[in-house]
Amino acid sequence: MTSTPTVLITGASSGIGATYAERFARRGHDLVLVARDKTRLDALAKRLQEEHGVTVAVLQADLTESADLATVEARLREDARIGILINNAGMAQTGSFLQQTGESIERLVTLNTTAPARLAAAVAPRFAQAGTGTIVNIGSVVGFAPELGMTVYGATKAFVLFLSQGLNLELAPKGVYVQAVLPAATRTEIWQRSGIDINALPEVMEVGELVDAALAGFDRRELVTIPPLHVAARWDALDGARQGLMSDIRQAHAAERYLTPA
């Protein structure tokens, strides 16, 4: 693996993914850009190559389609130049849970959970064998905020956080860095696609600021980066409480309060 690894970015045609592409190109990384919209990908690739002198490959793929997902998996397994995976592709939820259809749930879950897990699984063995490599998973603060009412979307983002934490435990000892990035509302096209008026939201972060903060966490090798969180100790307290909860769990017997009839 070269000292300046190639970066594969999913959902790279716009928003967070396109901004990651620009930032990594600025750092001198070659890129593999993955998304459905080839016209946009080609235009972005051309601009980045001209402005930064890097090599940019385009891989058109719909990650909800098994054949397309398999193509990206193969690229990750076989291209030893790829040393960083940015699992960014995702979609938001339109409407409440009662308004969801089976098909919409399946598509959302496939793109937000199945695709990043499979792509990470495709590249992790090669990274572990090489003793280096990075997997960045884009989650959301909605993943620990059911009060926001995006039930299926939030559940998929909770999966992304858990996946990242679990991968870190397994892969960090083998030299692989895993980062979960948890944005709050960010000014991207995901809102328009889900039928939500972004201008109606009270506080929205600009995408450049989001990615720059995420990359600051990346450079510091943070496990969990929450760009809008001003008091870092609050995440530490939440994670500490979780670990305290685990230490209090006794599996051999039910808790005493459940042994007395209500």
Tell me, yes or no, whether 242 lies in a domain. no
Annotated catalytic residue 177: no
Tell me: the pLDDT tens digits for 172-228?
999 999 999 999 876 666 656 555 656 666 677 799 999 999 999 999 999 999 999
Measured CA angle at 85 (ends 80, 90), to 5 deg: 145
Tell me, yes or no, whether 252 lies in a domain. no
| CATH number for the domain that contains residue 76 | 3.40.50.720
Instruction: Return the half-sphere exposure (C-beta side, CA atoms, 13 A cut-off) of residue 1.
Output: 23
Order of strands, sheet of 31-35, starting from the edge strand that comes earlier in the sequence: 56-60, 31-35, 6-10, 82-87, 134-138, 177-181, 224-225
Tell me, yes or no, whether 58 lies in a domain. yes
Tell me: the pLDDT tens digits for 115-132?
999 999 999 999 999 999
Domain that holds residue 208: 6-233
Tell me, yes or no, whether 133 lies in a domain. yes
Tell me, yes or no, whether 63 lies in a domain. yes
Tell me, yes or no, whether 1 lies in a domain. no
Question: Residue 197 burial (CB < 10 Å; 0-12/13-18/19+)?
Answer: exposed
Could you give the percent of the chain with pLDDT greater than 70? 93
Tell me, yes or no, whether 163 lies in a domain. yes
Tell me, yes or no, whether 243 lies in a domain. no
> How many structural domains are present in the chain?
1
1: pLDDT confidence band, cut at 50, 70 and 90?
very low
